[in-house]
Structure 1
Amino acid sequence: MKRTLVIGDIHGGYKALLQVLESAKVTSNDTLIFLGDYVDGWSESAETIEKLIELSISNTCVFIRGNHDLWCGLWLEKGVTNPIWLEHGGKETINSYIQSGYLSKNTHKKFFETLHNYYIDEKERLFLHAGFTSMHGAGNEEYESNYYWDRTLWEAALLADKVEEKTLEDILTKPKRFNYYKEIYIGHTPTTNYNKDTPIKAHNVWNIDTGAAFKGKLTILDIDTKEFWQSEPLPYLYPDERGRN
């Protein structure tokens, strides 16, 4: 059986990644779509990237770029850091690369260079890290940074989910950017912000970031059946660390 599985923000939680791959019984027949933010947070960012590179050989994989991946990629390529990145998990990522010995591996640099801003499958399902603002679809976004920073898509989905299509006025209030895609899958905004550690669907948007960077879990979801599997909460897997708390 061939499945398409989407995986939320990992944030250096290598142990959690191994858990969800095992729980979902992932095989080489499965297509894996990762929504970005592979690094920054827990102590095994470099190990996480190494595992993703291995998966790209054994499986059909799509890797989306997250805002944390942008920072890490710039550091690996040019040695560039910034205080915001260092404060939000960058220090842990740097330590992971130094301690693991993966700092010198060109495959890691290439991994970050080849990430996608978004992906649309053959069934018009859109995958991206954060969002987009263009009323003409993701491919017409004016600012590339919105793909990995924007939260207005998710906020609009939450609002649109409350609108009942009873009148023409109600229908017109629904954001037109949703109309281009059957479904949209995002990360970036933890569902734990809404007191949930499971995926949340709002309008036609699925939020798969279930707080693995903080006190939540990592999630992998079958996009056809909507069955999902989760790791243990990350603080249980890394009891001596604080993640991005």
Structure 2
Amino acid sequence: MSRLIAVGDIHGQYQMLQSLMEDVAPTDKDQLVFLGDYVDRGPQTPEVIDWLIDFQKRYPQTVFLRGNHEQMLLDAVVAADRKQSGRNTFLDDFMALKGRGLPSAVFYFVSCGGQESLQAYNGGDIVEDPCAALQRIPAEHVEFFSSTVFYWQYQQYFFVHAGVDPKDPTGEKRQNEAFLWQRKPLWKKVKGWDKIVVHGHTPVSEPYISQTEINIDTGAGYGDCLTACDVLQMRFWQSDGAS
């Protein structure tokens, strides 16, 4: 392995992704780990996913982690399919009250940036029926989201989207909740845990580096900056909306 490169939260920012990867210039000798949150907020989620799928074909060793936004999308797809096919349960109908008439999983997805993704998949047009729009997401894209993993380890590095509970490092007790949602930083070494956690999820103005973690979510979803880091050499690349 020449370089071990983590790529932060992309959030539909296709232009930033293209610019960043031109600077990184990956090769077959590199190991890349994408940290999740490929979708939502930004304007070009479909283009991002097409690019990632093509990249996976060219570099099959690449690791794609699942972010909370991919999980919300997958949950929304399942809920929309049940509603559209008339297979709602009583619990589905009850939870729809919280979702203002939508299945709650669809409502939460749309409310957390998913509206931008659905509009992009809808050719840029306003989406009137989120459930129908979810069913139009290409099957290849849904399969890509489903194939993502919750964490990946290499030597002392633990790659994950959000965070990790050192007392539950495989996510069995908390059912992967920490990997997708945790924002609690590892301020100090934890007994029995000697990993450096490489993650995104919590936006920071500059990459955050400590003895216990490296956070490279630099706010691409809000139009700020997309960051990649070779953790072996601690080299950083960045691309912003002006690139």
Alignment correspondent of 2:97: none
Alignment correspondent of 1:48: 48
Report if the CA contact (8 A) 2:8-2:227 is conserved.
yes
Q: How far apart are the structure 2 equivalents of 1:112 and 1:222?
A: 24
Q: How far apart are the structure 2 equivalents of 1:91 and 1:184?
A: 31
Report if the CA contact (8 A) 1:134-1:142 is conserved.
no
Matched AA of 2:31: T
Distance change in 2, residues 1:56/1:201 (3 Å): same
Alignment correspondent of 2:26: 26
Number of matched pairs? 210
Report if the CA contact (8 A) 1:132-1:147 is conserved.
yes
Fraction of identical pairs, as percent = 31
Alignment correspondent of 2:65: 64
Alignment correspondent of 1:86: 110
Q: How far apart are the structure 1 equivalents of 2:78 and 2:142?
A: 6
- Name structure 1 gaps, 5 residues minimum: 161-173, 193-197, 238-245
2:127 is the counterpart of 1:112: no
Matched AA of 2:191: K
Q: Secondary structure at the match of 1:218?
A: strand
Deviations 1:111-137 (A, max 9, x none): 11111111112x131100111224253
RMSD between superposed Cα atoms in Å: 2.3
Alignment correspondent of 1:133: 165
Alignment correspondent of 2:209: 201
Distance change in 2, residues 1:139/1:92 (3 Å): closer
Which stretch has the larger CA shift, 77-86 or 36-45? 77-86
Report if the CA contact (8 A) 1:19-1:231 is conserved.
yes
Instruction: Give the one of 226, 232, 235 matched to 2:234.
Output: 226
2:2 is the counterpart of 1:5: no
Instruction: Give the one of 176, 180, 200 matched to 1:144.
Output: 176
| TM-score between both structures, scaled by the size of structure 1 | 0.77
Instruction: Give the one of 201, 224, 231 matched to 1:188.
Output: 201
Q: How far apart are the structure 1 equivalents of 2:136 and 2:29?
A: 31
| TM-score between both structures, scaled by the size of structure 2 | 0.78
Report if the CA contact (8 A) 1:77-1:109 is conserved.
no
How far is the alpha carbon of 1:205 from its aligned partner? 0.3
Q: Secondary structure at the match of 1:82?
A: helix
How far is the alpha carbon of 1:77 from its aligned partner? 4.7
Q: How far apart are the structure 2 equivalents of 1:68 and 1:27?
A: 28
How far is the alpha carbon of 1:220 from its aligned partner? 0.9
Runs of 4+ residues over 6 Å off in structure 1:
none
